[in-house]
């Protein structure tokens, strides 16, 4: 199971003063040193945190893989094709949202997604689609030619009761199995933290977890390398009973 660390929020702090520090590229270097197997950043349309120059510098300096989250807005696509990250993860984007709120509606966007995915693949850029754990979306992801899906774990992470969490984890399990059956590689992310990550990390079909907010928040108190190491350790730990799920 790989850990991809999202460094957007390092750039969020920098943008508070519009200066040069803290540098998300330096943060990425520390994450890699602490055991992250990939770095994720989101070039948002409003450029509220990560800037194009950050993505270019990450691409030049990373020793692991750069996974660029992005919408399908024309200028962002142009930037991505020029910078050539190892992977792009296509996400829906609304300007007013605090973070990515739902999965991509692949069923609806099928026609525009298929040629876009081909243009990335022509440049050997892996394309992942960020989707809700719903069978129709997974089938559509296969139909449009994506190599990978990232399952949205927000419902699981934000569940208000144990019963809701159990249902959400079950949906993730079934979606991970279905994705593999469709020949898709499977990642997951959004809202994962030190308490809820273990149960998700045990789903055998999942290859990668992408985590940002909880790691960067923890880093304020223990330092970034320690925060990443702790997350790697939690990913390999048995889940506490609160997050365990007994259903088949
Ligand atoms: N994966 C995707 C597709 C996302 O949009 C985000 C949020 O930027 C994450 C993972 C990481 O979520 P979090 O910051 O809640 O860990």
Using a CB cutoff of 8 Å and minimum separation of 24, what contacts does 47-50 make?
A: 48/12, 48/15, 49/8, 49/9, 49/11, 49/12, 49/14, 49/15, 50/7, 50/8, 50/11, 50/24
Task: Give distance in angstroms: CA of 212 to centre of ligand 1.
Answer: 6
> For 172-219, how does the pLDDT look when each residue is reduced to its tens digit (9 = 90+)?
999 999 999 999 999 999 999 999 999 999 999 999 999 999 999 999
Cα-to-centroid distance, 21 and ligand 1 (Å) = 22
Does residue 114 belong to any structural domain of this protein?
yes
Q: Which domain holds residue 48?
A: 2-235
| 126-165 confidence digits (pLDDT tens) | 999 999 999 999 999 999 999 999 999 999 999 999 999 9
Domain at 130, CATH number: 3.20.20.70
Pocket test for ligand 1, best of 6, 128, 188 (most atoms within 8 A of CB): 6
For the segment 112-124, what is each residue's pLDDT rounded down to a tens digit? 999 999 999 999 9
Please check whether residue 241 lies inside any domain of the structure: no
Q: What is the pTM (predicted TM-score) of this model? A: 0.95
Angle between helices 135-143 and 162-181 (to 10 degrees): 30
Report residues whose beta carbon is within 6 angstroms of any ligand 1 atom: 6, 8, 42, 69, 89, 91, 99-100, 130, 150, 189-192, 210-214
Residue 246 lies in a domain: no
Kindly give the distance from the C-alpha atom of residue 221 to the centroid of ligand 1, in angstroms, as a whole number.
21
Residue 242 lies in a domain: no
Atom 12 of ligand 1, residue of closest alpha carbon: 190
How many domains in the chain? 1
For residue 245, is it within any domain?
Answer: no
143 Rama class: left (phi>0) / alpha (psi -120 to 50) / beta: alpha
**Nearest atom in ligand 1 to 89's CA:** 3
């Amino acid at each position: 199971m790989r850990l991809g660390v999202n460094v957007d929020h390092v750039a969020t702090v920098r943008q508070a003063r519009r200066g040069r520090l803290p540098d998300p590229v330096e943060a990425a270097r520390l994450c890699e040193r602490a055991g992250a197997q990939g770095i994720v950043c989101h070039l948002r349309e409003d450029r509220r945190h990560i800037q194009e120059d950050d993505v270019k510098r990450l691409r030049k300096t990373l020793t692991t893989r750069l996974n660029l989250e992005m919408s399908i807005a024309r200028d962002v696509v142009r930037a991505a094709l020029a910078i050539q990250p190892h992977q792009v993860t296509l996400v829906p984007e609304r300007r007013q949202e605090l973070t990515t709120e739902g999965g991509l509606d692949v069923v609806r966007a099928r026609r525009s997604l298929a040629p876009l995915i081909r243009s990335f693949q022509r440049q050997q850029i892996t394309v992942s689609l960020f989707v809700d754990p719903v069978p129709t979306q997974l089938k559509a992801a296969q139909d449009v030619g994506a190599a990978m899906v990232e399952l949205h774990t927000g419902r699981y992470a934000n569940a208000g009761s144990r019963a809701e969490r159990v249902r959400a984890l079950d949906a993730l399990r079934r979606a991970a199995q279905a994705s593999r059956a469709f020949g898709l590689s499977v990642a997951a992310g959004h809202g994962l933290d030190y308490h809820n990550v273990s149960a998700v990390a045990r789903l055998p079909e999942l290859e990668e977890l992408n985590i940002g907010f909880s790691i960067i928040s923890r880093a304020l108190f223990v330092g970034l390398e320690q925060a990443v190491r702790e997350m790697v350790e939690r990913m390999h730990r048995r889940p506490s009973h609160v997050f365990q799920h007994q259903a088949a």
